[in-house]
Amino acid sequence: MPNAHRLPALLLAATLCACGSLPARAPVAPPARPSPATPDWLAEAEAALDAGDPLAADRALSRVDPSRLPSEQAIRFQIAQARSLLLEDQPQLAEQALPEPWAIGNRSLAANVESVRADTQARLGLTVTAVSTLVRREALLDTRVQLDQNRDHIWSVLMQAPLDPSIEPQLAKADRITRGWIDLARIIRRSAGAPRPNVLADWRVQYPNHPAELARAQQGPTQAWQSTQWQSSGGPLNRVAVLLPLSGRYAAPASAVREGLFTAWLQSGLPRPSIDVFDTGDSDSSFEQAYREAMYSGADFIIGPLQKEYVARLAGSGSSVPVLALNYLDANQYATGPLYQFGLAPEDEARQAAEQAVSQNQSRAIALVPEGDWGDRVYAAFAERLSQLGGHVAHVRRYSTGQSDFSEQIQDLLALRESQDRHNALRGIIGYSAEFETRPRSDVDFAFVAATPTQARSIRSQFRYFHASELPIYATSIAYDGKRDPSNDLSGLRFCDMPWMLDRSGPWHALRAQIQPSLSPALRSQTRLLALGYDAYKLAEALQAGQLFAGSSIDGASGSLSLDNGNKVSRHLQCAIIHNGGLRMLPAPPAAQPSSTTWP
């Protein structure tokens, strides 16, 4: 199978045709009938793009010399080129390929250009700009149907974009119509699609005769929001397709996820749904083949994929079948269709370490994290949450992979060199060496570290060596391997982890004891991924039955699971301290005590 950047044409054509529950985007107008002198390649490229196949479109477009095209066909070529680049996830190049609308005499073509331009801007994270482009586009439209489609396009952009405070500088400069659209979207999303009547009334007063109000006069904004969402059947799962890399580099973690998933399936009530597992491997072609087979299997729910890059690829497919991906999109990516995101994000643990520390009146931190993307993400989540809670990080140091001696970083974090420098300065003044012992800084309350169990032992002992044994240390869950610590090397280490790992006498402990004898040593070493698979199946059940929605939560093996308005599942964890070789549970901070139901 060829190495493709997007899903095959026939698959995406079938998928896109099935998306009746999603808002329609403003369509690209059909091409004019070619003259006898015009080859068919341009129409073929446009047809391939309509089916979501940029490779076929690129092959068709490569056969043309755009300099020899008449002006309107040249514009069609530019639109097709931009659409292909956008499908290939190159929005910057796509925007550069588009002509300016004022240079186009044909209003229909100019409207098509602006529709694609708005999509490129939305993909680049320029939400306000994208909405403003579509607002201006209405001046190029002639019929009520075209206006309604354009407003559906605006709403689709808003329902998929982050509407956080970072857009405020651009929003302050936007026109009234654009601000009205964004304010309405925020109202709908904050209220999970059920805003109070007085809130909508206030919006109507602020934005009288707004296009959103005119377009939704018959059904109302609440129904408009709901129409962009996949509607659960309210019943049980019938046929589930699971996408996992059971061969290749990720075979071991994928096998653990599958084991956990089937454990949950065996515990589900009768009749159980059928489950088909498709091997995505670790190549583009194997993923596409697996996804195509999953769609052809007649599944009413898809669980997976596991790899981040394939979640990103699936996010643009527009599938009408709900998908619970086992990883998260990047912050600047968004999904079309009912894509839910769930995974064991270390950022959840970092944020809750900050919450736990602040709940103990500890707000000034130092941090020691590994170099690279993983360490950067963990530290950013920790520092951001600590800042939100009124704390700050006084100093951060990074260490290299495989490092075992952290003395240089720890001395720097504890400001021991400054202590030695002060002593040297004093000795120069008094003329002799007074009795001296270096002391760590006193302006921090705790340390945050991200390290493996072996590294955490070294870090903990080196903090003790440098006279900082009383400084509380918070870590991510990778510092804890589930084993007792008879040497007490990790004594005093605090961390937040999933119930699956921390439960010592409850239902999760009983379930672990039940399944562990049948597991291979390789699967036992991937125990947290067993919990991921278990919860993935339970989440699919809850989503299909309509029992999990924005703002609600349910207790799972990997934590208390809650769903936000962006279809992301967050984990609220339990926190513990290693004490006398075992564990002692810490009280949860008030912000981390959601009400929920419990599995199993």
pLDDT of residue 335: 67
pLDDT of residue 5: 33
pLDDT of residue 65: 79
Establish whether the linkage from the previous residue to 305 is cis, with ω within 30° of 0.
yes
Question: Is 330 within 8 Å of 344 (Cβ atoms)?
Answer: no
Q: Which of 49, 174, 214 is nearest to 115 (CA)?
A: 49
User: Residue 474 to residues 150, 368, 471: CA-CA distances in angstroms?
Assistant: 50, 10, 10
Q: How far apart, in whole angstroms, are the C-alpha atoms of residue 296 and residue 317?
A: 15
The answer as to CATH 3.40.50.2300 being correct for domain 233-343+503-557 is yes
pLDDT of residue 142: 84
The answer as to CATH 3.40.50.2300 being correct for domain 346-497+568-598 is yes
pLDDT in tens, the chain (600 residues): 333 333 233 222 332 233 333 333 444 444 444 444 445 787 877 887 777 777 777 888 888 777 777 878 888 888 888 888 888 778 888 888 888 877 787 888 889 889 999 999 988 889 999 999 999 998 888 887 888 888 888 888 887 777 778 888 888 889 999 999 998 888 876 655 555 667 777 888 888 888 886 655 434 333 444 434 455 556 788 899 999 999 999 999 999 999 999 999 998 877 899 999 999 998 888 998 998 898 888 888 999 999 998 998 887 666 678 899 999 988 767 666 688 999 999 999 999 999 999 999 999 999 999 999 999 999 999 999 999 999 999 999 999 988 889 989 998 899 876 555 554 554 545 554 545 456 667 889 999 999 999 999 999 999 988 888 889 999 999 999 888 877 778 889 999 999 999 998 889 999 988 888 888 888 888 899 999 999 999 999 998 888 887 777 888 999 999 887 678 898 999 999 998 878 899 987 764 443 344 445
Enumerate the β-bridge partners of residue 577: 494, 584
Prediction pTM value: 0.61
Q: Which amino acid makes up residue 420? A: Q
**246: its two tokens:** 């059971």
Sign of CA dihedral 255, 260, 266, 271: negative
Which ranges in the chain are annotated with CATH 3.40.50.2300? 233-343+503-557, 346-497+568-598
Helix intervals (H) in 506-581: 507-515, 521-524, 527-544
pLDDT of residue 49: 77
**365: its two tokens:** 């931190």
pLDDT of residue 157: 85
pLDDT of residue 537: 96
Going by the DSSP 8-state scheme, the letter that residue 589 receives in this structure is P
pLDDT of residue 466: 86
Which residue shows structure tokens 């002060």?
A: 422
Question: Is 211 within 8 Å of 2 (Cβ atoms)?
Answer: no
User: To 10 degrees, the CA torsion angle through 16, 17, 21, 24?
Assistant: 70
Q: Which of 352, 344, 423, 337 is nearest to 384 (CA)?
A: 352
Kind and range of the H or E run holding 48: helix 41-50
Establish whether the linkage from the previous residue to 600 is cis, with ω within 30° of 0.
yes
Largest CA distance in the chain: 100
Q: How far apart, in whole angstroms, are the C-alpha atoms of residue 190 and residue 186?
A: 6
**3: its two tokens:** 């190495």
